[in-house]
Amino acid sequence: MLDKISPSQRAGVDGHSAAAKVKDYLVDKDASHVIPYSKGGSSHSHNIKWESKATNRARGNQLMTRQEQMRLGTKVHFDNFTGALQTGLGAVPKGAVIGIVTTVPFSTLRNTLRGARGEISPQKATLEIFKESAIGMGVCATTAFAVTTVAVAFPPVATALTAISPALLVAGGVGMVYELFKILDDHRQQTEVYYESLTQRELESLVDTENEVLYEYTKNVKFLDKAQALHDEIANRPRI
C-alpha cells in the first residue's frame, strides 16, 4: 500500500521526515476497496486504493466504478506533481545561497582586478559584481528547483543522482579551482599586454618628439641660411 502513495508524497531527507509526510498524506484518506469486502472482495493491495474518507464512506458497499478508479489514478499523478513542485520550491532558497556563495568570490576577484587594470571604474565593478551574483543565484536556484522536482517525482532519477554525486562534487571543485586560476591567468595576460602597449606608446612618443625637434632644427637652419644670405648681401652692397 505504501507504493500506492505518490513518490513525492512519501519522499523525505530521512526516515522520520518521510514517515511524517506519509502520515500527513493519509490523514484524510481511507483504504478503499474496489470490490467491497462484503461482496467477496479481498484485502489484497490490488483491490485497495487510497481515497478520501468522505467519498469512500458515501459509496458504502457499492462497487467502485471504472471512472472512479481512473479518477483516483489521475489524482495520484496530480498529487505526485504538486508534491514534487512543493519540494522543489523548498530547495530554491538553498540553491540561491549556494549560487551566491560560489559566485560572489570569483566575481569580486575578477571585477576588482579589472578595476585595478583600469578597464572599468569602481562603480562599474560593483555593478558587475551585483549583476553576476544575481545571475549565479538565479541559475543555481532554478537548477535546484528543477533537479529536486524531477528527482522527487521520479525516484530512479534520485537514485542515479545519489550514485554520481561524489563525481559531481569532484567536478564542481575542479571547476572552481580552474575558474580561480583562469581569472588570475587572464589578469597576468592583460597586465602584460598593458605594459607592452605602454612601452609602445612611450616609443611612439619619443619618435614624435624627435621628429618635432628635427623639424624645428631644419626650420631654424633654413632661417639662419636666409639670414646669412641677407647679411652677405648687405655686406657686399657697393658703398657710395
Average pLDDT of the chain is: 84
**Residues 56 and 49 sit within 8 Å (Cβ to Cβ):** no
Q: Which of 12, 162, 157 shows the shortest CA–CA distance to 86?
A: 12
| 211: pLDDT strictly greater than 80 | no
Confidence (pLDDT) at 134: 94
pTM as predicted: 0.67
Mean pLDDT over 218-230 rounds to: 75
| 200: pLDDT strictly greater than 90 | no
**Residues 110 and 178 sit within 8 Å (Cβ to Cβ):** no
Confidence (pLDDT) at 131: 94
Confidence (pLDDT) at 135: 94
**pLDDT, tens digit (0-9, with 9 covering 90-100), for 170-188:** 787 888 888 888 888 887 8
Tell me how far CA of residue 8 lies from CA of 5, 53, 159, 212, in angstroms.
Answer: 8, 21, 14, 82
Q: Is 33 exposed, middle or buried (0-12, 13-18, 19+ CB in 10 A)?
A: buried
| 237: pLDDT strictly greater than 70 | no
| 128: pLDDT strictly greater than 80 | yes
| 239: pLDDT strictly greater than 60 | no
Domain ranges of the chain: 1-64, 84-206
Confidence (pLDDT) at 14: 72
CA distance 73 to 6: 10
**pLDDT, tens digit (0-9, with 9 covering 90-100), for 152-166:** 888 888 778 778 877
Mean pLDDT over 85-103 rounds to: 91
Confidence (pLDDT) at 231: 64
| Confidence label for 138 from pLDDT (cuts 50, 70 and 90) | very high
